[in-house]
């Protein structure tokens, strides 16, 4: 400065020395927990194949169960099977027999229908035969023989047509009385014929094959009454 005095030097701040850093106290690291020992797992039974001990004991258990079962059980089962088989066989035989009988009945009915198809018509023609028979039996005297012969031929043709379908006259005169073929309407005393022999035919009977269309009306013989 010009005044001859040294100007006071300005106070310079003293450099501050950095304080030494104190090391931070080291914290102890937490200890890792020791791993716990795993609990023992329960053994899983092996079902794929029985053990040797089980294989050995299984037949023994089966034998013991068999010993404990009733001794007659297999026999009863066998008897039941045999009984069921016999019942099934009997049912089969009965069904086969029933079916065979049905076929026979159906066939017989068919044959009977064909065999007796003309029975109704034949029964309606019987009165015509009766009238023709009575007319020929009571022909008046002096009638033209040619005309009478023509009537007899017509009557014969009618009988032939009836016979062609199985209709025939039932034999009565001199035959033993048969209730299936004859219808008795009276009796006559006679010693010439055995008892219950047809001695009079009032109306002829007819049958078709083995079926009676109409029984014959007859009188039968009876022994003469003894004089008292």
Residue 58 maps to a domain: no
Specify the pLDDT at position 64: 47
Stated pTM of the model: 0.51
Residue 15 maps to a domain: no
Residue 201 maps to a domain: yes
Kindly state the percentage of the chain with pLDDT values over 70: 68
DSSP symbol at 191: S
Residue with the two structure tokens 């020992």: 37
Specify the pLDDT at position 11: 52
Give CA–CA dist 73/79, Å, rounded. 10
Q: What are phi and psi of 21, to 5 degrees?
A: -75, 130
| 129 Cβ contact partners less than 8 Å away, ≥ 6 residues apart | 155, 158, 159, 162, 204, 206
Distance (Å) of CA 221 to CA 151, 157, 180, 198, 217: 34, 34, 18, 6, 14
Residue with the two structure tokens 């009618």: 158
Specify the pLDDT at position 180: 94
Tell me which residue range forms the domain holding 176. Answer: 170-228
Residue 198 maps to a domain: yes
Residue 144 maps to a domain: no
Contact 162, 125 (CB under 8 A): yes
CATH code assigned at 198: 2.30.22.10
- Does residue 152 surpass a pLDDT of 70? yes
pLDDT tens-place string over residues 88-129: 999 999 999 999 999 999 888 888 787 778 888 888 889 988
């Amino acid at each position: 400065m010009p005044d001859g005095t040294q100007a006071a030097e300005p106070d310079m701040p003293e450099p501050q020395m950095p304080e030494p850093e104190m090391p931070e106290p080291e914290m102890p690291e937490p200890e890792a927990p020791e791993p716990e020992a795993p609990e023992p797992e329960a053994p899983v039974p092996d079902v794929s194949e029985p053990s040797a001990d089980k294989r050995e004991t299984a037949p023994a258990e089966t034998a013991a169960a068999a010993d404990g079962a009733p001794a007659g059980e297999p026999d009863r089962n066998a008897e039941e099977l045999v009984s069921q088989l016999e019942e099934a066989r009997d049912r089969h035989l009965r069904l086969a027999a029933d079916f065979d009988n049905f076929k026979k009945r159906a066939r017989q009915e068919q044959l009977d229908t064909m065999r007796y198809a003309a029975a109704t018509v034949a029964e309606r023609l019987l009165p015509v035969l009766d009238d023709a028979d009575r007319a020929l039996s009571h022909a008046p005297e002096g009638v033209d023989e040619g005309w009478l012969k023509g009537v007899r031929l017509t009557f014969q043709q009618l009988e032939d047509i009836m016979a062609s379908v199985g209709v025939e006259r039932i034999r009565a005169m001199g035959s033993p009385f048969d209730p299936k073929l004859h219808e008795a309407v009276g009796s006559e005393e006679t010693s010439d014929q055995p008892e219950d022999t047809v001695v009079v035919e009032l109306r002829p009977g007819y049958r078709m094959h083995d079926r009676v269309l109409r029984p014959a009306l007859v009188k039968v013989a009876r022994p003469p009454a003894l004089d008292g």
